Amino acid sequence: MRPLAVIALLVVLPMGGAYAQWWVGLETGTARYRGSAHDTSSGAGPRLRPGDATTIAIRVDRRLGRLGVALRASLATPGVSAVGASIAVTDRTTGHLIEVATLVAVRVGGIGPSGVVRAELGPALHLWKLDDDKRVRLGALGALAYEWPVAGRFSGAIRVEGAMSRSWFEEGDLPPEYELRLTWRYGVTLGLRYRL
């Protein structure tokens, strides 16, 4: 909990100087999930995991030179997928997800006269609703982002990211031959931000 408090202080502390800037933005993206549960009896049973999804997010950034912190909240409905050798079936009537991530960003380079490349890393809280059951998972999220000016105070960003947390299933959810595994997510987001 202490690292989250330090990051929160970095976001809200007044930072003087011309370099400190606030940004607010919207992002949309794709999320692909792997892991979660695997049939160990024969390997022929389906693997169970969250389904692939489209995400929408709100993001607030605070920048000070090369460093920055961000808070992002995203929504998705990945559902639950059963994946076999050549087919995947996804139930989207369940499996709603809220993800809240706090990220530390470091400028690692640039492309062209005004494009910026940033590396981001931080904790992610996953709130997954499976039917009437709510699951809370704490994980880690890492990303590599390219940001460029669009017009005036607006800028665009494309982000390649990955996240991991413990299995989104519980021991009693599945037959005993299923082994719970880490849940992995990777994806790409595209965002538009406004400098305040």
| Domain that residue 178 falls in | 2-10+20-195
The CATH number covering residue 91 comes to: 2.40.160.20
Is residue 106 situated within a structural domain?
A: yes
pLDDT of residue 14: 46
Q: In whole numbers, what is the pLDDT of the chain averaged over residues?
A: 86
Residue 113 lies in a domain: yes
Here the tokens at position 80 are 């639950």
Q: What is the pLDDT of residues 60-113, one digit of tens each?
A: 999 888 899 999 999 999 888 888 877 888 888 888 899 999 999 999 998 877
Extract the tokens encoding 75. 């929504």
Has residue 159 got a pLDDT over 80? yes
Position 15 in a domain? no
Which residues touch 96 (CB under 8 Å, ≥6 apart)? 75, 76, 77, 128, 129
Percentage of residues of the chain with pLDDT beyond 90: 50
Tally of structural domains, the chain: 1
Q: What is the pLDDT of residues 119-149, one digit of tens each?
A: 999 999 999 888 788 889 999 999 999 999 9
pLDDT at 18 over 50: no
Residue 167 inside a domain? The answer is yes
Residue 6 counted as domain residue: yes
Mean pLDDT of 168-187: 86
∠ CA 196-161-100, rounded to 5°: 60
> Does 181 map to a domain?
yes
How many Å from the N-terminal Cα to the C-terminal Cα in the chain?
A: 29
Question: Could you tell me if residue 96 is inside a domain?
Answer: yes
| Residue 43 belongs to some domain of the structure | yes
